[in-house]
Chains A and B, each alone.
Chain A
Amino acid sequence: MVESSHGVGGAAEARAKRLPRWVAAVAVLPLPAWFSVAALLAPAPAWRAEYRPGANGAGSTAVVAERKLEHYWDRRFNRAPGGVDVHSFVAEWQACLSVAQPRDVPFLLVSNGVASFSLDGQVALQNGGGKQRQTSGQVIRLERGAHLLRVSLQARGWSSIALNASFDGGPPAAVGSGEPVSGVRLSAPRSGPAPCASDG
């Protein structure tokens, strides 16, 4: 049985003794470093979500930032911000979608519960509630610039909500923060009358 170094001579022996530390460093440092950088550089959550108690008044109003608009509640996922009753609450989400060039975007609104999707203040999609999960979709022409997205939900029973869109021709996916494709960016709205106005 042999232990550690086989180096001969001062410098070589010193290098041989340091080598295990370098090996340990390349084994354990990259992942945490990458995670730290990814966490620091990750786009800020773009959806401003406001949860309000429903008719039974349980819980309190909570405003949180969320990275994408896709939720479903069941026995496993049975909590909502503000401690509101997940069987009876009202929620609204807002975000700003900026496109560099005009494009046609398929949007899907999926929900259990009464829900609507507005684009720049105009209702584009609505789901009327009922026991089954509903999906409504439309291809919407987005002109160059920033657009205000607003989604609302009145939850009844075990609810769900998602706003899906396709920017690359693939299946629509939940609209998430940051830049899903080049030339398209989802960012948080500002407070005030023009939440998606750009600087300058």
Chain B
Amino acid sequence: MPRAATVRSSLREGWGAVGRGLLGGAWPDWVSLASLAALSCVFIATVGDYGLTYDEDPHILYGERLLDFYASGFRSSVGVSRSSYGAAFDLCAALLRRVSPWDEFRTNHVLCAFIAQLGLLGTWRLGRLVAGPLGGLSSLLFLVLTPVYYGHQFNNPKDIPFAAGYVWGLYFIARLLLALQPRAHAADAAAAVRSLGGRYWVALAVALGLGMSVRVGGALLIGYLALFVTLVSLERWRLESRATALALLRGVWLRAGLAVVGAWVILLVSWPRALLSPVRGPQTALETVSKFTAYDSPTLLGGQVIPSQNVPWDYLPTYFLMQLPELGTACFVATGVMVMATSLLALRRRRPLPWVWLLLLVSVMLPPAYAIVRHSTLYNGLRHFLFIIPPISVLAGAGVAELVRWTAPRHPGWAGAVLALMGVFTLDQGLWLWRMHPHQHAFFNRASGGLPSAVERYETEYYGNVYPELLAQLTREVWEKRREEYMSRTFTVAGCGSKLFFTKNLPLNLQYTAMRSAAKADYYATYARDGCLRRFRDRALVARVERGGATLAVARDMKRKAKRSRGVVSASPPR
């Protein structure tokens, strides 16, 4: 029918024009700018919604000891000189607390959110470096829209600062690798390396140093730098005149070596353990954190409680598959396969290898592979490997950008369709971020069955973020239902988790008591960790935190039994 055919043809042409138009121009950069601006506003508006977590208090204490250490002229302190963790973030937080109008935890969250934004910026820069403005935008979107990463950005003082340092280290290494690409003329090659300039080498040293000064595992970046510069050097040696390659690379090796020395100096200055023992200190710290046998809390995998020192090889892959958005995982895997295929083809045809892409792939695969092979202590799901999510996002995003670049001239409609899919993904994941707020860290994707399927079978809310909301509900409940008692006596609240979760989120007249006294307490309040949701189920439910159709935390009245009605447990009438 002519009319239908005309409509179809117009649609195809229009879609094709969209596909072609989307390829060119700076629109992805403008969208990235708008996204980061919007994110800044969201961060500011919501930073107060996030609760304190397990790792915060030890790091706050560490920060205070660090300040004492430096202010007293490096007088040694046991708590400072033996810490396996670098000090940069904690020192900054301690300094910030001196001028902050808020308490120590909210101040920590503000700094954590700022560092997280640096990480987002680094991911955007790396994606843009690898695959242009569209690669930058896609990488940024994949990272921001990964709820498990998003939720940690506000109250994880270890893994998020390290992730930011990791992605910036990768960015500067990638820039070096790009400058070292073989060029048609030797003069162009030399100019590309010269264009890096002195500021680049200083920035590289700072990125490597700060990465290590959060977690000593940042020394991985030095390993990547050495490995890939070596491989690129060998390739240049193989493909070009030896004299030319040598002349070019000698200068690079020298500057890279100086950058590593600079990074080490930054590490020494900002980490007392390294300052007191510059080589042995970091070395033993690295051994400690890579094995970490000091901690043996049980963890969950598929409903099985397993010791964290004895997790199966599929612990990490399972959590990544279940907690990353499906589209991001699919794009990452597809890009990884393409990178490997391209590399094999390049080897066969004696062409330059895609080193930057290989760097990204190694930066994602090596750390978890090492942990699996070494049987490292693992718990809290993928939390300790949050730092590989930015390069995963870059590979996924850069892959999307390359796909659009390849299809746009050939099948413009397909390119438009890919971008439309990204748009739908953005909306869908954005809704999830909103629905889960502020407990995005407990996200499980649809393919895994979602959060309802994961609660009590996998580690979901294990960090303590849920307590401000739960205990505010409990306080309101007691105030409204037991007003006279509220004005005249102290209530006791028992619960799972750190005592600080309760003392910082309850008024003093609701007093924390240890779990061994729970049976005598007035209330029991708990998150999902360690099977705590299952305890005291015969007690009346008075408060609950739910997200995504799953219960993350409950509070129960220990003096009232739950009333059973047609198989549904509900509270008995109030006093």
Which interface class (under 10, 10 to 19, 20 to 34, 35 or more) fits A? 35 or more
Taking a contact as CB atoms under 8 Å apart, the answer to whether A170 and B476 are in contact is yes
Q: Which residue of A lies closest to B135 (CB)?
A: A2
**B278, chain A: closest CB distance, angstroms:** 32
Known contacts A26-B36, A160-B508; A135 and B488 CB within 8 A of each other: yes
Taking the complex as formed, is A49 at the interface, i.e. its CB lies under 8 A from any CB of chain B? no
Bound state CA distance, A22 and B30, in angstroms?
10
Residues of chain A from 158 to 191 with CB closer than 8 A to chain B in the complex? 160-162, 164, 170-174
**A46, chain B: closest CB distance, angstroms:** 12
Q: Which stretch (A32-40, A50-58, A88-96) binds chain B?
A: A32-40
Interface centre among A2, A12, A67, A110 (most CB of B within 10 A): A2
Known contacts A39-B101, A132-B490; A32 and B114 CB within 8 A of each other: yes
**A23, chain B: closest CB distance, angstroms:** 5
Residues of chain A from 138 to 162 with CB closer than 8 A to chain B in the complex? 138-139, 160-162
Bound state CA distance, A30 and B33, in angstroms?
13
Taking the complex as formed, is A15 at the interface, i.e. its CB lies under 8 A from any CB of chain B? yes
Taking a contact as CB atoms under 8 Å apart, the answer to whether A3 and B129 are in contact is yes
Bound state CA distance, A143 and B357, in angstroms?
71
Taking the complex as formed, is B9 at the interface, i.e. its CB lies under 8 A from any CB of chain A? no
Residue-wise interface mask of B (11-53) relative to A, using a CB-CB cutoff of 8 A (1 in contact, 0 not): 0000000000000111001101100110111011000000000
Q: Please name all residues of chain A whose beta carbon is closer than 8 Å to the beta carbon of B133 when the two chains form the complex.
A: 6
Q: Please name all residues of chain B whose beta carbon is closer than 8 Å to the beta carbon of A136 when the two chains form the complex.
A: 488
Q: Is the interface of A mostly helix, strand, loop or mixed?
A: mixed
Known contacts A6-B24, A31-B117, A174-B507; A23 and B486 CB within 8 A of each other: no
Number of interface residues of B (CB under 8 A): 53
Q: Is the interface of B mostly helix, strand, loop or mixed?
A: helix
Taking a contact as CB atoms under 8 Å apart, the answer to whether B29 and A67 are in contact is no
**B32, chain A: closest CB distance, angstroms:** 6
Taking the complex as formed, is B128 at the interface, i.e. its CB lies under 8 A from any CB of chain A? yes
Q: Please name all residues of chain B whose beta carbon is closer than 8 Å to the beta carbon of A35 when the two chains form the complex.
A: 100, 110
Known contacts A30-B44, A70-B508; A106 and B487 CB within 8 A of each other: yes
Bound state CA distance, A12 and B345, in angstroms?
37
Partner of B508, one of A16, A31, A162: A162
Bound state CA distance, A27 and B117, in angstroms?
6
Taking the complex as formed, is B120 at the interface, i.e. its CB lies under 8 A from any CB of chain A? yes
Task: List residues of chain B with CB under 8 Å of any chain A CB.
Answer: 24-26, 29-30, 32-33, 36-37, 39-41, 43-44, 57, 99-101, 110, 113-114, 117-118, 120-121, 124-125, 128-133, 135, 178, 354, 356-357, 475-476, 478-479, 486-490, 500, 503, 507-509, 511
5 nearest CB pairs, A to B? A42-B101, A137-B487, A30-B40, A171-B479, A162-B508
A-B contact pairs, 22 of them (CB 8 A): A1-B356, A2-B132, A3-B129, A4-B132, A19-B29, A19-B30, A22-B33, A23-B33, A26-B33, A27-B36, A27-B40, A30-B40, A31-B40, A31-B114, A108-B487, A110-B490, A110-B507, A110-B508, A133-B509, A137-B488, A171-B475, A173-B507
Excluding A133-B511, A164-B507, 15 further A-B contacts by CB distance (< 8 Å) are A4-B128, A4-B129, A23-B124, A27-B36, A27-B121, A27-B124, A28-B114, A31-B114, A39-B100, A76-B57, A108-B487, A133-B509, A139-B487, A171-B475, A171-B507
